[in-house]
A and B are shown apart, each in its own frame.
Chain A
Amino acid sequence: MGIEVPITLGILDGVVVAMVAALTALGLSLVFGIMRIVNVSHGEFYMLGAIIAWFVVTYLGSFLLALVLAPLAVGGLATAVERTILKKIRYDPESTIVATIGLLYAIQQVVLATFGPYAREVSPPFYFRVDLGFFGYSGYKVGVAVISAILIAAVYLLIYKTRLGLFMRATQQDTEIAQAFGVPVRKVYTVSFALGAALAAAAGVLIVPIQQAYYLMGLDALLLSFIIVIVGGLGSIKGTLVAALIVGLLDGVVSVFFSPTLSRILSSLLVAGVILVRPRGLFGSGKTM
């Protein structure tokens, strides 16, 4: 046997990473598309998801419950942030960035004070190995990819098939016109911000049996999301998925031969390439960038 096994493993891991990253990035992209703001504490919502999962699994013993509770709790926190801070600064893009940087530090330090500086493990809710002929692959990882895909599909359906989704798309197109047509823009903002945060938290829950919960894990997720939305183009679900797969596979395969650090350097350099060739991202429609 040569290098086929590690490469296949790398590709599979890459797809799993890609699906979770797509889920996280989708939340960021959604919030930007609708509210025109960048939430720098998005990675901390992801981290909170992982931390809450650890608490729920450890004290209540149910992973499924964690997958429900963490997004709800983080969504609730996001709602509070949106109602108090973001509303007060009138969603000004730069003020939002400063405020959410502040929030990033605050959340991180609160978690450090309560959860401690340790990386804690959560065991996967189910064990089985998928037999791929010459080697086995973690059934949980396959499960993560599948659940992420289901959640992404659910978001897609929400946006394109429901009344709320229609409101969201209308707000994304033109806030003022949407308001004139009776779209409750304020509510759409609150819901979108909470939904974006909840998606990040769900991704955090899903990743925790693979990567452990750690109070500094948010920044990496944030940067990965940034890379994905820049490469894929903001506001495009398809772009987010494709970019996440490119970045994830690059990460998976390069990590087999070199270090994960190098793969992150390479995927960041991909950003430089995209900006030079297509400043709006691969699938970006937008006037925005």
Chain B
Amino acid sequence: MREIGSLPAIFHLSIIAALFVAQFILPPFHHSMLTRIMVLAAYASGYNILLGYTGLMSLGHAMLFSTGLYSVGLTILYLGFEPLAAFTVALISSLVISLLLGAITLRTSGVFFLIVTMIFSQVFYLTTLYFNNITYGDQGFVISQYLHPINMGFFQIDFADRTVKYNLSLLVFSVAFLLSLYVSRSPLGLVLAAIKENPDRAEMLGYNTYRYKLIAFALSGTIAGMSGAVYALVFSYIGSSLAFIHNSINPLLWTLLGGAGTTTGPLVGTMLMVYVIDVTSSFTESYLVVVGIALILIILGFPKGIVGSIRKRWLTWLP
């Protein structure tokens, strides 16, 4: 019933395997595109746990992504942390920040939740601008010169190496991907689905719905922070623009396009959108108009998204 089941398990593992194999086949351009897509798809997968599984639409995830991003960036730049230590700091700080943000914003519901998450995220963005003597604001900073290779005895992890970048991205994506598969099939996931459908009834069954929503928020936010941390390590750039509202809207768009509430939707949506924007930005400056029209079209004619529609039509076993 709500078990992972062998078919979905094989399906998900083969997607990861295919992404792993792809690095040996793809030409350099697509190799680097996929590196970017996988980090962002991890971010979208985390977002999906909140939107797709729990039915909570946040416009504040840029703040959580950036918590991971800046945790890595600032500890490496100012404190001389090693990448692994910086990553650990990022995980802990994004967990703490998401718990705090969730605890406050989940006191509201519906559209108010969305407005309030957006306001707080904007505070975070403005803070990164206000302290631009530390964060370098919009211009940002680069950490590649401080990312020393990690010596693993018989081989080295060199963050400048594109194979390392690719596999780091694959790693963070796989964690987010498998975690969302696990959650969707777990007793916890069933409670989240119940809260999404009928929170009143879930409460009357004896579930503390506030606490479950907070768990979903923290899980989603920590995955966002983890993605931000890996983004910093892989792309070496840390700047305010990643904390801006556009970066909260992005995972919303990717998740809706791919299919909210499906495990593979965020990957499909991210991949499609990153390629579409890459293609369109080669002949128009204002690629955002594509984002805008895509959002309107999806909501008008395609509310289940790509994977959601496929699941409904053909593959009902798809998680």
Q: Which residues of A contact B (CB under 8 A)?
A: 32, 37-38, 85, 88-89, 93-95, 97-99, 101-106, 108-110, 112-113, 219, 223, 226-227, 229-230, 259, 261-262, 264-265, 268-269, 271-272, 275-276, 279, 288-289
Contacts and interface: CB of A to CB of B under 8 A. Distances in A.
Nearest to B109: A289
Contact of B57 (A94, A261, A268): A94
B289 A97 contact: no
Contact of A97 (B114, B126, B292, B303): B114
Secondary structure call for the B interface: helix
B296 A276 contact: no
A253 to B, nearest CB: 17
Contacts of A99: 295-296, 299-300
Contact of A276 (B107, B109, B129, B249): B107
Interface string B252-265: 10001000000000
B295 A109 contact: no
B293 interface: yes
23 contacts: A32-B111, A85-B296, A89-B299, A89-B300, A97-B114, A98-B298, A99-B295, A99-B299, A99-B300, A101-B249, A101-B252, A104-B292, A105-B292, A106-B292, A106-B296, A108-B292, A226-B119, A268-B122, A268-B123, A271-B116, A275-B104, A276-B104, A288-B112
Contacts of B187: none
Given A99-B295, A105-B288, A279-B107, A265 B126 contact: yes
B123 A219 contact: no
B289 A38 contact: no
Interface string B104-148: 110111111011101110110011011000000000000000000
A106 B292 CA distance: 5
A25 to B, nearest CB: 12
Contacts of A262: 130
Contacts of B286: 109, 112-113
Contacts, number: 111
B245 interface: yes
A85 B118 CA distance: 23
Nearest to A264: B126
A112 B284 CA distance: 12
> Which size class do B's interface residues fall under?
35 or more
Contacts of A89: 299-300
B150 to A, nearest CB: 37
Contact of A98 (B110, B115, B127, B295): B295
B291 interface: yes
Contacts of B114: 38, 97
A275 B122 CA distance: 17
Given A265-B127, A265-B130, A272-B104, A102 B122 contact: no
B298 A109 contact: no
A230 B303 CA distance: 29
Contact of B126 (A32, A113, A261, A289): A261
Given A109-B292, A268-B123, A272-B104, A93 B110 contact: yes
Contacts of A109: 286, 288-289, 292
